[in-house]
Chains A and B, each alone.
Chain A
């Protein structure tokens, strides 16, 4: 049963605009959330994370928002650049556990 869901398989955004990638989760015990970016034929690279004690974390053009009551998080990329075109995976974990629970990914295309 998928505990982390990314309901949009793909997203297309114009260069310079904001990209918003969404992620929902079902397990209220998750307390740490991460976003990974993956180019074809490469391994995922860590992008940004957020602990459940926060509702926002920012790193340059990337900001992650967490809404615990809605069990929802989102990744904002501003401004979007063509090099941001990749598949983005949302992941969540339990403090007592080892493994990450991944969503199925959202393929972002940033067009010039």
Chain B
């Protein structure tokens, strides 16, 4: 079974803090993704990475950056947290070798609250 883990289930930070959200997958997947989920808005893609050190902006990258130094780990960084970044953050991974038919597998999510 694919396992995607996220470093924290719940996180509370203050406005202006730098926040790191970590995601690790154990199935040697090439592609990794960060989404945020907000009520009434569904899942929106922030950034994704199709390979080590490679990254692409998703639909809502503003205020975020990412890092992928190792294949199994994909980090989401909030350079200066703001209250409108309070959300559920979801990491996902996908094998990536056979195009879009690869399913994305999600981690349990991190509920981030910015005060």
Give A contacts to B, CB under 8 Å. 6, 9, 31-32, 34, 36, 41-46, 49, 51, 89, 93-100, 102-105
For B41, B43, B56, the residue with the greatest tally of chain A CB atoms inside 10 Å of its CB is B43
Interface residues on B, range: 20 to 34
Q: Is the interface of A mostly helix, strand, loop or mixed?
A: loop
Residues of A with C-beta under 8 A to B58: 99
> Nearest chain B CB to A105's CB is how many angstroms away?
5
Task: State in angstroms the CA–CA spacing of A26 and B31 once bound together.
Answer: 25
Q: What are 10 A-B interface contacts by the 8 Å CB criterion?
A: A31-B100, A32-B100, A41-B111, A44-B90, A45-B106, A46-B105, A95-B101, A98-B33, A98-B96, A102-B35
> Counting CB contacts under 8 A, is B61 at the interface?
no
